[in-house]
Chains A and B, each alone.
Chain A
Amino acid sequence: MDCENELMKYFDGEMSEEERARMLASLKDSDPRKLAWLRANEEWLGYFKAAGKIVPAEAFQADVMKKIESAPADATAHPVDHVIRMRNELMRLKVFAAVAAVALVAVSAFLAFELNRGPDFQVPHDQPVVARQPFNGKSGLAEVVFVLRHSQATSVSVAGSFNDWKPGTLNLEKKGDDLWVANVTLPQGRYEYMFVVDGAEWVTDPCARAFADDGFGNQNAVLTVNK
């Protein structure tokens, strides 16, 4: 007899009354000690069965419902709902991406047109100019666009108090036939500067709003960057 299996069947209630009686009778004769162990098992299992169940505090249900009430509105959403929501989200992203792409193309085209066209203000042909576009940034920096119209120049840089008057450190980029442009970020302050054409010719910005004597008989352009 497979004793373990017999005992499992006995305690799991998988024996008929007849089988149980036969097993008990057999143990009584052959192994009274084992029979006593079996009875002890039954007795203790009876205690566990009769132990009753712990009843939670009265507020238990109310506490659970309170937590449930404060759960997110979509807490019970079906997975299908999640899939639909994700699909809608993707659709929205696609639409957003398409709109963003169109906007980017439009802005790029506008900027390209604007840069080729030159600044809005009147620029005398073949005259150097500077355009200043300060903006209020959290960093306290302002973006300055230096613009020079010069048809014969092969290189243009700007030298001033912001770069220790070193020519060649801030080069302007050629746009179109005669427009030279450089974007420079500067902290707020007062600066003096001049353009340097082909590394040798120092040119005063004629469109500057203010000028200052450079002490050598020429005038520097004055740029005031306000936050």
Chain B
Amino acid sequence: LNVRRNHGKVADDDPDAKAIRDCLAGDRNAFRGLVEKYKVPICDCTYRMTGNFHHAEDLAQEAFTKAFSSLSMFEGRAKFSSWLYRIALNLCKDHLRHRALAEDIVDPDALGRAVLENSSARKPGESAVINEEHARLQCALKALPAEYREVFVLRHMHELSYREISEISGENVGALKVRVHRARSMIVGFLEGGKWTAKTNS
């Protein structure tokens, strides 16, 4: 399959485009590189949304397999990563709708098992502190409604631009900025334990 079949929207200079073209031409193995490249952000995203390490892995796997099976629908208007994020987040929202987000927003198993990307930079004795920090941040994320948690994670944890978030969510940048701002206020309000009143931060 060539670029023309995708209406020329998969740009030749997009590093993911070749893998996508190869997949569409029948080379399933070409998808391996895309999984390798995006498994960490997608897995982290599903974890931040669900708070459960096992569910996060399952959802991330489902996102990749769904992306593969729908690859012919990918028109290349957005980046492949944005499209993948969108699939993963939609799966997370479906998951959360069907399952009350309960105590497992801070997954104790994940605290023990999860390997943080920058953990090698930390001293061994810091692991308990890391876990405590991790738990606090996850609890704060839990305090956010899913639509706020989603944009907060993308903006402040995955450091995506508003344009990328707009590609993922399909919402306009202005509305997203307001939502992220409210999410920030809510999350810091939670972490500071009501130290800052509405009057203070308005």
Contacts and interface: CB of A to CB of B under 8 A. Distances in A.
User: Looking at chain A's contact residues, is the secondary structure mostly helix, strand, loop, or mixed?
Assistant: helix
Contacts of A12: 162, 177, 180
B116 A71 contact: no
Interface string A56-74: 1100110111011101100
A81 interface: yes
A25 interface: no
B133 A78 contact: no
B102 to A, nearest CB: 19
A215 interface: no
B68 interface: yes
| Overall SS of chain B's interface | helix
Contacts of B200: 33-34, 37
B39 interface: yes
Interface residues of A, number: 41
A69 B28 CA distance: 7
Q: How large is the interface on B (under 10, 10 to 19, 20 to 34, 35 or more residues)?
A: 35 or more
Contacts of B148: none
Contacts of A50: 118
A64 B65 contact: yes
B116 A61 contact: no
A80 B73 CA distance: 10
B172 interface: no
A75 B134 contact: no
Interface in B67-106: 68-69, 71-73
Q: Which 5 A-B pairs have the closest CB atoms?
A: A52-B116, A53-B44, A78-B72, A56-B43, A75-B69
Interface of B: 1, 5-6, 23-24, 26, 28-29, 31-32, 35-36, 39-41, 43-44, 47, 53, 56-57, 60-61, 64-65, 68-69, 71-73, 110, 114-119, 133-134, 137, 140, 152, 156-159, 162, 177-178, 180-181, 184, 187-188, 191-192, 195-196, 200-202
